[in-house]
Chains A and B, each alone.
Chain A
Amino acid sequence: KQEVTQIPAALSVPEGENLVLNCSFTDSAIYNLQWFRQDPGKGLTSLLLIQSSQREQTSGRLNASLDKSSGRSTLYIAASQPGDSATYLCAVAPDDYKLSFGAGTTVTVRA
Chain B
Amino acid sequence: DGGITQSPKYLFRKEGQNVTLSCEQNLNHDAMYWYRQDPGQGLRLIYYSQIVNDFQKGDIAEGYSVSREKKESFPLTVTSAQKNPTAFYLCASRGQGATGELFFGEGSRLTVL
Contact = CB atoms under 8 A, between A and B. Distances in A.
Given A43-B90, A103-B42, A104-B42, A34 B102 contact: yes
B105 to A, nearest CB: 5
B107 A103 contact: no
Interface stretch (B14-22, B43-51, B60-68, B75-83): B43-51
Interface of B: 4, 6, 31, 33, 35, 40-43, 45, 48, 50, 56, 58, 88, 90, 92, 94, 98-99, 101-107, 109
B104 A43 contact: yes
Contact of B105 (A43, A51, A102): A43
Interface residues of A, number: 25
Interface of A: 4, 31-32, 34, 36, 41-46, 49, 51, 89, 91, 93, 95-99, 101-104
Contacts of B33: 99
A101 B43 contact: yes
B47 to A, nearest CB: 11
29 contacts: A4-B42, A32-B99, A34-B102, A41-B88, A41-B107, A42-B107, A43-B4, A43-B6, A43-B90, A43-B104, A43-B105, A43-B106, A44-B104, A45-B104, A46-B103, A46-B104, A89-B42, A89-B43, A91-B43, A93-B99, A93-B102, A96-B98, A97-B48, A97-B50, A97-B94, A97-B98, A98-B48, A102-B42, A104-B42
